[in-house]
Amino acid sequence: MVVDTKLYDVLGVAPDASDAEIKKAYKKQSLANHPDKNPGDETASERFQEVANAYEVLSDPDARAAYDRYGETDGNGPGGPGMNMDDIFASMFGGPSFGMGSGPPRRAQDSVIPYSVTLEDLYNGKTAHFALEKNVVCSHCQGTGGKTGAMPKDCVTCGGKGRVLQQRHAGNGMISQTVAPCSDCDGKGKKFREKDQCKKCHGKTVVSAKTRLRLEVPRGGYNGQRIVFEGEGDQLPNSKPASIIFELEQKPHDTFEVKNLDLLAKVRIPLSEALLGFSRTILTHLDGRHIHVTKAKGDVIRPGQVDVIKGEGMMDQRYYDQKGDLYISWDIEFPSKEWAQTVDEETLASLLPPKRPILPTNSDSIVDEVSLSPGSMDMYGANMGTRPRGHDHDHFDSDEPNVQCAQQ
């Protein structure tokens, strides 16, 4: 329940209007009341300003929430005498959003650093060293930004409020307005005069410092995993230091795919091994071990067959004795066309299972002799005819009715 609907009424929308509805109404009202379209009309000019002010509040989620809860600013602040915008931010977020009042201190923003790793790194673990720069609280002024005994003054740019009104052209002659932290005082509302600033940090309260970090990629790590260095990031006065977060990004692998703790490898073998068996190394594992497999004669490997080697997948990073499995997908390599043309047909036929019998026919059978052409599954479904795009199944609902003419 909102306490005041005046700004909504200015735009002609309901209090529960969506952001899109508010934006649409603002464009409509701005165009209708723009001074260029209403030269000399003071009423339209005032209306244009009211529309801009209403949109400024309702387009910002925080400002809109404050307006819904406390109403419009009347000089003493929304909600009654003595309450101002800083009080609203304090009631909404547990402390002042701007200014140098008391309350929970600001915290520097955590740094998220992407770090590329190979699948071998995740399987075996890896150690990396980094040299980074960060902001630390100035030891000369203890983070005040000024000389001993000096007092900060209200920022001239924002008038001590810590925030400024920014305007930008939104096209079609419209101007959008937003409230942003003052860049001159970093949103504090106060700053030291140049002669009163700390000579080391020049009033910034922090200075740059170098730090070294040792990153331990755990055995059994995974893509997207975050490794957090708590408190090793940027600092701000009277606040908890930020953290540095490394996010692992796994590079594609030529042999293996990974899903949770399981690995998948596609192994290509000739037809002779698929039929007669073999005993050899089929691949090199992520830790350099040769994986040797024996397939007995008669244990025929068929196209698309998948076998599993238990316990040869990724290990759990907490319990090294818990491992996934390694799945082997067999890819049968058939002889080339040249080989098939040169081999003795009768000899090969005597070694292979017999061909399938020809389907019996009679005088009523229709036999259609066709020719084959090389194809690709990438082109499967490309022939659409008059079917609508996006419908790739047999039964679908078309936006157009299926109109048929009745026979007369």
Superfamily of domain 111-152+192-250: Urease metallochaperone UreE, N-terminal domain (2.60.260.20)
pLDDT of 31 reads 84
C-beta separation of 104 from 94 below 8 A: yes
pLDDT at 103: 41
Token reading at 137? 């609280």
Q: Cα–Cα distance between 402 and 391 in angstroms, integer?
A: 16
Token pair listed for 226: 């975050």
The bridge status of strand 244-250 relative to strand 226-229 is antiparallel
Cα dihedral across residues 220, 222, 228, 229: positive or negative: positive
CA–CA separation, 76 and 214 (whole Å): 54
Look at strands 153-154 and 244-250 and give their pairing.
Answer: unpaired
d(CA 274, CA 334): 10
Report the half-sphere exposure of 139 (CA within 13 A, side-chain side): 2
Q: Is 207 exposed, middle or buried (0-12, 13-18, 19+ CB in 10 A)?
A: middle
Distances (CA, A) of 308 to 182, 189, 219, 266, 323: 62, 66, 22, 12, 13
β-bridge mates for residue 137, sequence order: 206
Question: Shortest CA distance to 312 belongs to which of 299, 328, 331, 301?
Answer: 328
Select from 187, 188, 168, 191 the least CA-distant residue to 178: 168
The length of the chain is 408
User: How is domain 256-333 classified at the architecture level of CATH?
Assistant: Sandwich (2.60)
Beginning with the edge strand found earlier in the chain, give each strand of the sheet holding 306-309 in spatial order.
Answer: 256-259, 262-270, 326-333, 306-309
Token readout for 189 is 């509302």
Cβ–Cβ < 8 Å for 155, 188: yes
CA separation for the pair 117, 320 (Å, rounded): 20
| pLDDT in 10s for each residue of the chain, 408 residues | 677 788 988 999 998 899 999 999 988 888 888 777 777 787 877 888 888 888 888 888 877 887 887 676 443 444 444 444 444 444 333 343 333 343 445 678 899 999 999 999 999 999 999 999 999 999 999 988 999 888 888 888 888 888 887 776 666 666 666 778 888 887 888 888 888 899 999 988 999 999 999 999 999 999 999 999 999 999 998 889 999 999 999 999 999 999 999 999 999 999 999 999 999 999 999 999 999 999 998 899 998 899 999 999 999 988 878 899 999 999 999 998 898 889 888 888 888 888 788 888 888 888 788 777 788 888 877 887 777 776 555 544 545 555 555 555
Q: What is the pTM of this model?
A: 0.59
Fold match between 111-152+192-250 and 256-333?
yes
Q: So where are the chain's domains?
A: 5-72, 111-152+192-250, 256-333
List b or e across 135-170, with b for residues whose CB sees 16 or more CB atoms inside 10 angstroms: bbbbeebebbbbeeebebeebeebebbbbbeeeeee
Which of these, 116, 110, 62, 118, lies nearest to 90 by C-alpha position?
62
CA distance 165 to 56: 10
What pLDDT does 174 receive? Answer: 64
Assign domain 5-72 one CATH number from 3.40.50.2300, 3.90.550.10, 1.10.287.110, 1.20.1050.10. 1.10.287.110
Which has the closest alpha carbon to 66: 96, 88, 87?
A: 88
